[in-house]
Amino acid sequence: MARSFCNASRMWGKISSLSYSSNGLSSYGPTKTARIPVLHAESSSRKCQSGISAGSESKASNGSGFSSLGDRVRGREVELNRRRIISHISNGSSRERMVAACGIAEFSTVSDYPPSLKSRLLRGEKLYGAFSSSFSTVVAEILGWAGYDFVVVDMEHGAGDTFAALPVLQALASTGTPAVLRIPWNDPVLVKKALDLGPAGVMFPMIQNAEEAQRAVDSCRYPPLGIRGAANSIIRASRYGLDPSYLSKCDDDLLIMCQIESLEAVYRIPEIVEVEGVDCIQMGPRDMRASIGLLKYPDDSRPLELLKSAEKAVQSCGKKVLLAGMSNPESSPVELFDRGYDLVSGIVDVALIRDAAVADLKKNKPKK
């Protein structure tokens, strides 16, 4: 038992810090170091110094190469300490109480965010993502762990609001997957609530002209550049006030996407992309089809011609604007990337589950 305790304290002597994530406070995913409690175990390590060599000999004599009892003790100590820290954080403990209860010698705040979704795109990466309309945290985690580059949480056609979107963003953050929020409408109140959740990007549906695009950008900027309400000291986007760099980087990191979904909007693409702050044009092929009265006619090729003309309008503009789209019956993800798209959403989670369920029933359900 004494030997195992020495193994545990030896491990703590080697580990200088333990980082934690409270279910992922950043939309960009869990960070390597956020608020870091630095744990010191030098004194307990010195108390057991005489037993270290004996523990090493025990390891050497174990055919598996490690001490199973010591390994269990180490794992248990790590888990208990992690739980104590998170418990005190959740209960709003002061710094002094956490130091006393968890043996934390000091705190350090380190900003170590991964590259933003926007910066990756501006570097030339081609990113493949998915839409989430189910507002299921389990499905969101599956999409993230499966490897999608980003997930659009759809508050326009999905059933959820910002309150329902929060746990979905937290689930995606736990997998390191950036989230984009598609808001229901170009409304400053809806934008404010969405941005306070800390998404990597925000998608504005049905942008028809430059005036509407400017309104979208203004809703994303704090005064004097815009009209966004300020609560930066308590919102999730700033790690609830724990990230002092938030105000200096939020504009540069946020991907602002304007969706083109009508014949009128296609004609006005040149003026829309000239609005300062518009980073990306998202194509909406289904609503484009509807806008020319062909939603009920899936075999008509004119909507595809309209989509391609919209793509050329974006790509021919002198200003560099990203191009985003969704796969559709006329254009696969591979075809969209070949046509110059920077980011493509290939699936919608509810459709993916539906298709899998239908395929399973067709294959396995006994015939009556």
Supply 368's token pair: 């009556």
Which residue type is seen at 216? A
Q: Cα(23)–Cα(167) distance, rounded to whole angstroms? A: 9
Could you tell me where the beta strands, DSSP code E, fall in the chain?
Answer: 35-39, 104-109, 127-132, 151-154, 179-182, 201-204, 255-260, 280-283, 322-326, 343-348
Tokens 């296609």 belong to which residue?
Answer: 266
Active-site residue flag, 88: no
- For residues 30 and 173, is the Cβ–Cβ distance under 8 A? yes
C-beta separation of 194 from 162 below 8 A: yes
- Comparing CA positions, the residue from 320, 319, 336 lying closest to residue 328 is 336
Number of alpha carbons in the 13 Å side-chain half-sphere of residue 189: 1
Burial class (CB in 10 A: 0-12, 13-18, 19+), 78: middle
Q: How many CB atoms lie within 10 A of CB 305?
A: 11
Site of tokens 């004599």: 61
**Is the alpha carbon torsion for 163, 252, 227, 240 positive or negative?**
positive
Q: What three-state secondary structure class fits 163?
A: helix
From the list 76, 83, 157, 354, the catalytic residue is 157
d(CA 228, CA 221): 5
Q: Measured between alpha carbons, how far is 156 from 170 in angstroms, rounded to an integer?
A: 19
C-alpha torsion 137→138→139→141, nearest 10: 80
Task: Retrieve residue 1's tokens.
Answer: 């038992």
Q: Which residues are catalytically annotated?
A: 157
